[in-house]
């Protein structure tokens, strides 16, 4: 009798476990949770290269799609990510970490675009390559000033990859705060 009861309880748990799961969802997806994707990168402003130690600015706009599939409005409060430029095929180096604190409302069941404009500086880029990316630069046998000049000369055609990583968007909703991780590449090859 005890064995029959144990078998029935085990069958009940198995049936409950199979019916309680939501089919078709990936483990990291949640129904109604906002999704952030990189749509494109645009050159906002470009100046001719001037040899160091003079500063040459470069303004890039990162355009993101924010998808709100839920039935309620969400409010974007904090948006941050790290930019990586391709130094060699498949090898990306950390350049900067833009952060914004704009308040943007996204209505329910819509996709809105959010643009983050970041102004790079040739001296700061060389410093980032020299300090934060020292080991990788040494492994790839690259010189920071030459690599930075190369990026400035190729940015118009996007002849190198740009990656957005370590992204985090913080949304406020009527159900509490939601933190959404994201990443992406441009151009999409």
Domain 31-186 is in which class? mainly beta
| Per-domain boundaries in the chain | 31-186
Between the CA of residue 56 and those of 95, 122, 143, what are the distances in Å? Answer: 15, 5, 18
What residues contact residue 91 under an 8 Å CB cut-off, 6+ apart? 136, 140
Question: What per-residue confidence (pLDDT) applies to 25?
Answer: 35
What residues contact residue 66 under an 8 Å CB cut-off, 6+ apart? 34, 35, 36, 76, 104, 106, 111, 112, 113, 114, 169
pTM: 0.79
* Other CB atoms within 10 Å distance of the CB of residue 99: 12
Residue for token pair 């799961």: 21
pLDDT-based confidence at residue 23 (cuts at 50, 70, 90): very low
- pLDDT tens per residue, range 63-100: 999 999 988 889 999 999 999 999 999 899 999 999 99
- Rounded to the nearest 10 degrees, how much is the dihedral formed by the CA atoms of 61, 67, 71, 74? -30
């Amino acid at each position: 009798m005890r064995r029959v009861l144990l078998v029935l309880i085990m069958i009940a748990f198995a049936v409950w476990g199979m019916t309680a799961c939501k089919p078709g969802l990936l483990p990291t997806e949640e129904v109604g949770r906002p999704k952030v994707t990189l749509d494109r990168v645009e050159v906002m402003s470009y100046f001719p290269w001037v040899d160091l130690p003079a500063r040459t600015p470069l303004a890039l706009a990162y355009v993101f799609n924010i998808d709100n599939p839920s039935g309620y409005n969400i409010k974007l409060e904090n948006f941050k990510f790290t930019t990586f430029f391709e130094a060699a095929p498949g090898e990306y180096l950390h350049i900067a970490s833009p952060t914004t604190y704009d308040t943007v409302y996204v209505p329910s069941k819509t996709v809105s675009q959010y643009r983050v404009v970041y102004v790079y500086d040739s001296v700061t880029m060389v410093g980032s390559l020299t300090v934060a990316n020292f080991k990788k630069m040494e492994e790839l046998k690259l010189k920071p000033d030459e690599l930075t000049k190369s990026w400035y000369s190729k940015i118009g055609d996007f002849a190198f990859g740009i990656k957005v990583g370590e992204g985090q968007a913080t949304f406020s909703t009527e159900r509490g705060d939601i933190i959404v991780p994201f990443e992406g590449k441009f151009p999409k090859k």
